[in-house]
A and B are shown apart, each in its own frame.
Chain A
């Protein structure tokens, strides 16, 4: 194993992942605050943030918990938010699939938006990288944010208990999510998926147990996939 060059790729990843500190720290703080507001203890909050390790799904679970949703629906809905992790895992497989099992098991835990976004760009740009170099880069890209995410959650949980209710925090969560949705609108198909999901979610709001969320999410996914197919066919016809 070329450990010297792997080390330099670890630091390349570290540098590329550093700017995400400015996203991970405020999100971690917010999650800590919301978790405390939702009635979680500090131990529960820390177990949540360090084992699930996925901001959007954690926020989704908290919102549904406050709406008194049945436990099974909370878990399914939050996992649906995390289905993109399966996509990341699938997309990284051609680059990292040949690594030893223990490394792949470790990489799976560290698969988040930031490590995926950094790594896929680098792997496509430098197709000649060895598997150890890629793995070093991947781990490096997530090293700056992981400890800070966990620390920020802790600070948020400690501070959250002292925030008065008049601060209208009920709506901080929807704002956070909407802010995350904007940058996801990369193609027309993404916009179609979101619009269909919104329309169906408003129509199905009367269905009990928040099942409308899963129906709307599935409808949005199918709409996005179909829009992508139609757009591709049109391109081919020209």
Chain B
């Protein structure tokens, strides 16, 4: 695998450790009992649901393992994992059905 520079990795670990703690502490620790602006809460509600799909979408359409060529097993696996997740609301069921689709199609098409 890629050899990664330890300074980079430690910078990321320490940056994320401090940053994540700050995000968790900011309201419960600093705001205390004071009320929060609704516009801020309204945007915060959609952070995870916006960032995660934005991270994944290019990887699904142009996978790195096939050097950016759209790939049927990977696209199908992505669709199955997403649909099973939406319907079942069960993360593990979605992971396993997506993985089964990926390995099933990779095996059948090879």
Interface residues of A (CB under 8 A from B): 22-23, 26, 37-41, 44, 47-48, 51-54, 56-58, 60-61, 63-67, 71, 74-75, 77-94, 96-98, 101, 104-105, 107-109, 111, 168, 170-185, 189-190, 193-194, 196-198, 200-202, 205, 212-213, 216-225, 228-229
Contact = CB atoms under 8 A, between A and B. Distances in A.
Query: Which interface residue of B50, B57, B74, B78 has the most chain A CB atoms within 10 A?
Result: B50
The 4 A-B pairs at the shortest CB distance, nearest first, are namely A182-B85, A220-B50, A224-B46, A179-B94
Interface string B74-108: 10011001111111111110110011001100100
B102 A168 contact: yes
Contacts, number: 299
Contacts of A87: 41, 44-45, 47
Interface of B: 1-4, 6, 8-17, 19-21, 23-29, 31-33, 36, 39-65, 74, 77-78, 81-92, 94-95, 98-99, 102-103, 106
Given A39-B4, A111-B24, A185 B65 contact: no
A78 B81 contact: no
A172 B94 CA distance: 12
A177 B81 CA distance: 9
A52 B63 CA distance: 28
Contact of B33 (A53, A93, A168, A213): A93
A53 B6 CA distance: 20
A181 B52 contact: yes
Given A39-B4, A52-B17, A174-B56, A85 B43 contact: no
Nearest to B93: A179
Contacts of A97: 28, 31-33
Contact of B4 (A23, A65, A94): A65
A183 B89 contact: yes
Given A81-B47, A90-B44, A168-B102, A201 B24 contact: no
12 contacts: A38-B2, A51-B16, A53-B20, A87-B41, A87-B45, A93-B28, A168-B103, A171-B102, A179-B94, A213-B51, A220-B53, A221-B43
B21 to A, nearest CB: 6
B49 A81 contact: no
A178 B94 contact: yes
Given A37-B1, A96-B28, 19 more contacts: A38-B2, A44-B13, A53-B20, A56-B48, A66-B2, A81-B51, A173-B59, A175-B81, A175-B95, A177-B52, A178-B78, A179-B81, A182-B84, A190-B49, A218-B50, A220-B53, A221-B46, A225-B46, A228-B45
A44 B55 CA distance: 23
Contacts of B17: 47, 51-52
